Amino acid sequence: MRCINILVFIFLLTISACEERKLVTITIGGNSTDFDTLYINDIYTGHTLLKMPLDHIGKEYTFSIGETRLGELAIKSSESTYLTVLSPGAKKSVVIDTNSIRTEHSIPDSLANYLWKSNNLMFSKHDKTIFAEDNPWKVRDLFDSLVQVRANQLKGFKSILSEEELGILTYQNKARAYSFLMFYGRIIKEISPGDEFFSFIDDIENENIYTKSLPNTLLYKYEIQLLKERDSIENIGVFLDYIEAKTKTEDLQNFLKAVYLKEVIENPSYWRPHEKLFTTNTIKEAFQRESDNTYSFLIDGATRSFFSSQQGVKGYDFEGFRPDGSVLRLSNLKGKIVVIDTWATWCGPCIQHRIKMLEIAKKYEANPKVAIVFISIDRSKDRWLDYVQKTNPDNLGMELHIPDGMNTDFGDRYLIKSIPKYFLIDQDGIILNSDLMEPSIGMEQNIDRVLSKLPE
């Protein structure tokens, strides 16, 4: 009996030791700030792995993970985010100050953010070459060079990084560059799938264990390959079948199918060959087909958002804060044609279109049947207020703030996954258009068409 007890004790001790090795330990450092909560989110699924109150600097928090993955540090009411490589047994010291968030003394995290930000730097440094000139091969050369430069940087840290850390960073290096090149070729330049420009897709592995950290890279590859084999994608099922045929690992296969359905619903402009395939009926069919998918939870939210934001559906009765702190709800605008401009101070295209939107607000200023509503989804109230005061001194339209609106019921119900986004809602609160064209004469014609049908 004593021997059995000893064996049980050893067994439990072993399990405890294994569980401890899976723990990630987070310590909050830095100076006291006005922020109240730190989130660690899983890049793969968007789930929150850990939520930490920021009222105890120096306190330790732990959570368990089974494999190395990429996470994101985010602070409530702040635009700052920071990538972090999460490995079982890792210990992280997070430093937060007024303007930023980061981890201290973490080479993997520094490299992950370097890979992310160097892509963005390429866009700003070579914006004319990439977006204004018609020279795809020059753009390809720029990103091929970037991949090589970053690969050399990673090679220099090879002795410091674990095999898993090096693996996920190596994947991120190519995936970030190739993902953009495929978007550039597929969407911006509409290059033929059989063109030599896309030859780099042969370097993208179908079974890389780190694909989940940037799955669109492999999905874009599959689309190009499929369109190279046939002229078009006839229906959603064809592409889902293709994912299954090309991906041997069942878990990755399920993940990719779920991500694909979620992405086409939330970001249709990235998936033009598929966009017209997604109707109310086809989404229901696809959802039914993938009902047993282990990652169906990724599709659930997107599907609910899709149906709640479609034409003919009663708009969700959101509430937003005016500059004076008072609350305005959609239902308060009953009887008016409502145009919603969803924007943020950090969104370049939003700022670019804001001048024209203010002109439209000026045009309809004296019309009691029209309400032009600017809804900011900034996390920071002060940043929003400061920008509104500078850019809209005449108080044109209605300025509202829904803090971190993309991650609220408003964002979910109106499918706000990218901005700017414009809506047209009728006098009874029914959505007429959930993807209204950008500010233009066309937008004004849409508004005037609805106005003409209202009783005098």
Q: CA torsion 389→392→398→400, rounded to 10°? A: -40
Do the Cβ atoms of 24 and 92 come closer than 8 Å?
A: yes
Q: What is the pTM of this model?
A: 0.75
Q: Give residue 242's pLDDT.
A: 96
Q: What percent of the chain has pLDDT over 70?
A: 91
Q: Give residue 31's pLDDT.
A: 60
CA distances from 65 to 69, 84, 104, 222, 375 (A): 9, 14, 21, 30, 38
- The DSSP annotation for 127-195 comes to HIIIIIS--HHHHHHHHHHHHHHHHHHHHHTTTTS-HHHHHHHHHHHHHHHHHHHHHIIIIIS---TTS
Average predicted confidence (pLDDT) for the chain: 86
Task: Tell me the pLDDT tens digit for each residue of 197-209.
Answer: 999 999 999 999 9
pLDDT band at 178 (very low <50, low <70, confident <90, very high): very high
Calpha distance 224→211 (Å, rounded) = 17
Q: How do the domains of the chain map onto residue ranges?
A: 22-105, 108-308, 319-452
CATH architecture of 22-105: Sandwich (2.60)
pLDDT band at 286 (very low <50, low <70, confident <90, very high): confident
Q: Give residue 33's pLDDT.
A: 60
Arithmetic mean of pLDDT, 35-49: 85
List Cβ neighbours of 260 (8 Å cut-off, separation of 6 or more).
219, 239, 240, 243
Please say if the pLDDT value at position 173 is more than 80: yes
Arithmetic mean of pLDDT, 122-135: 89
Class for domain 319-452, per CATH? Answer: alpha beta
Judged by phi (left if over 0) then psi (alpha if -120 to 50, else beta), residue 30 lies in left
Task: Tell me the pLDDT tens digit for each residue of 45-58.
Answer: 888 888 888 776 77
